[in-house]
Amino acid sequence: MNALLHEPPLTRSVEDYLKVIYHLSSQGGFAATSDIAASLDVSPPSVSGMVKRLSEAGLIEHVPYRGVQLTHQGRRAALKMIRRHRRAHGGRAGRSTLRSARRPDSHRRGRDRGDRPHFTRRRPGRRRARAASGGHRGSRAAALPGGAGARSRSGPDDHRPPAVQRPDDGRVGGRHARRGTRAGAALVVPRGGPVSAVNGAVTEQGWRQPRVAPSLVEVYRTIPVAQGAWWRKALAFSGPGYLVAVGYMDPGNWATDLAGGSRFGYALLSVVLVSNLMAILLQGLAAKLGIVTGRDLAQACRDHYSRPVNLALWIVCELAIAACDLAEVIGSAIGLNLLFGIPLPWGIVITALDVLIVLYLQNKGFRLLEALVLALITTIAGCFLFEILISGPSWPGIAAGFVPHASLLGDRDQLYIAMGILGATVMPHNLYLHSSIVQTRAYDETAAGRRTAVRFAFLDSTIALTIALGINAAILIVAAATFHVSGHTEVAEIQEAYRLLTPLLGVGGASMVFALALLASGQNSTLTGTLAGQIVMEGFLNIRIRPWLRRLITRAIAIVPAALTAIFFGESGTAKLLILSQVILSVQLSFAVFPLVRFTSERAKMGEFVNPAWLKALAYAVAVAIAVLNSWLLVQVVRGRAG
């Protein structure tokens, strides 16, 4: 075997490497490492290690965003193994398997017609039924996965892996019932496959159709989970929450926090607190959905609702992501304008270059993306800590502001700003994002393993959203201590706040630090926008396009209206467009919240992880409150109160 696989020496058992090579030879083309892990029942980190070894040996090649495939040398090695198996067992190796090992593209004809294995063919009459049942003349069985039937005996030199069968997807008859293999059972690899029931914890009975592929297959279960002390596990699960927290401190939140602080002082800090508590609840449900069911929220909608409903949900969600991207574009462009004097139209165009940043980070690993996002969050937090220290706020006033008060409901203008803060805080695309990226951790897929993963994912998101709460509160506190106290109660635009900070505080770097935090916030949000867009498109439509192309499409949708507005209407136009983007996000929020609460409250889908009665009641109360308040906000904007 060592002579066959060459150098470097292999550290796992020979059979494991044979399984990988058999899988790739039967695929005939590119395959994702997560698919290999799912089909061979091997952990993704183990598959990644074997893929690395086989790549170093020159037997396979890895192409980003496409997967791995056998090289010419690897196909020759697979051919040798098949022939050696034929000689050892006295049977015939299947010609179709030999052809697939020789010609990696030979699978395309069958693949284009559907899920039929590429090495099968139609059988007339009784031979078709006999082949479908696994029988063959002379009592031959499929001794070689994917090949023709060899005699059913086996010996000590039988290194072939066991055949991997496609899990039952609930379909009766159809293509698979009419077609059999050339001489028995073929190697049929599931694409993700349904989530298996573990001790009755998870089932597929509550879904209209089974899961067909993991979410974000490029990074699915690529981050190992440390064993031992709880803090090691907590560090392994930390990261997704910070990517989610980015959406709670994007430039859209800045406008509402500045308006609330400058006009009403510290009074609306309680609204910021309540909004973040709602966000912690909803993000915890999103993480639980992804960990327990193996689906992100978009995939769950696709597997539960009918196709017309799915299409409508997808369109609404794409509009929300475009609106979110619009806020990020405007925020980054304003930051570039304030820091470097770049005109807004050119700043908007420059923001398209962040596609290169995202591509580079995705190629380097998901952990690097998480590290960069955390670094930018730290930058934003440091900037506003500096602003708070030099603004000298009233700490008793801050403490009183965090206490909810009934006067909020009696003041129409104050209630309007409060609803704007709520609508800008809870972001719909974050629910799709969080339910997907929690699956980058290779947690144990048992009931106990999922329970541990849910607990640490909730801890991660709670800590991250608490930091987001601090940053949002800091924006409002700085506005209250700087503008409200000095009588500038109508500051609602970011550019105006930038111009007033230095004169009012008397510190030369105050405005520059404010602009730096704004730029970091805008760029931070663009990094997660790429992932959210990819998750939504793949989840609702089961369509995969390259991330850079997806990013260009999304960014073009945001750049065109932002650039035209900046050219023809200037700063005031971009400020109104920023408010409009938050209104669109508010309208879409209910279309994400209600499915999330429904899915996590159904025992058929969640098993023992279903929401308890009190959590179900609380989640539905939050969903209804968000729907009512956002509807009220939309009515006010339509009546012309947004100005």
Asked if residue 139 and residue 254 are part of one domain, the reply reads no
pLDDT score for 75: 76
Asked if residue 471 and residue 384 are part of one domain, the reply reads yes
Asked if residue 142 and residue 241 are part of one domain, the reply reads no
**Residue at 220 is within a domain:** no
pLDDT score for 283: 95
**Residue at 193 is within a domain:** no
Q: What is the DSSP string of 198-225?
A: STTS--STTSSS---S-SSTTTTT-EEP
**Residue at 218 is within a domain:** no
The domain that contains 433 carries what CATH number? 1.20.1740.10
pLDDT score for 103: 46
Q: What is the DSSP string of 69-113?
A: EE-HHHHHHHHHHHHHHHHHHSSPPPHHHHHHHH-TTTTHHHHHH
Which pairs with CB-CB distance under 8 Å and at least 24 residues apart come from 573-576? 574/330, 574/333, 574/334, 574/344, 575/255, 575/492, 575/493, 575/494, 575/495, 576/642, 576/643
Tally of domains in the chain? 2
**Residue at 217 is within a domain:** no
Asked if residue 280 and residue 135 are part of one domain, the reply reads no
What is the extent of the structural domain holding 298?
Answer: 226-638
Residue pLDDT, tens place only, 244-294: 998 888 777 887 888 888 888 899 999 999 999 999 999 999 999 999 999
Asked if residue 260 and residue 115 are part of one domain, the reply reads no
- Bridge partners (DSSP) of residue 179 are 122
Asked if residue 233 and residue 168 are part of one domain, the reply reads no
Asked if residue 141 and residue 40 are part of one domain, the reply reads yes
Residue pLDDT, tens place only, 159-186: 443 333 333 433 333 433 333 333 333 3
Asked if residue 253 and residue 172 are part of one domain, the reply reads no
Query: What number is the average pLDDT over the span 84-99?
Result: 52
Asked if residue 520 and residue 418 are part of one domain, the reply reads yes
Residue pLDDT, tens place only, 440-479: 998 988 889 999 999 999 999 999 999 999 999 999 999 9
Asked if residue 240 and residue 108 are part of one domain, the reply reads no
Residue pLDDT, tens place only, 501-528: 878 877 777 888 888 888 888 877 777 7
**Residue at 219 is within a domain:** no
Asked if residue 296 and residue 169 are part of one domain, the reply reads no
* Amino acid at site 428: P
**Residue at 136 is within a domain:** yes
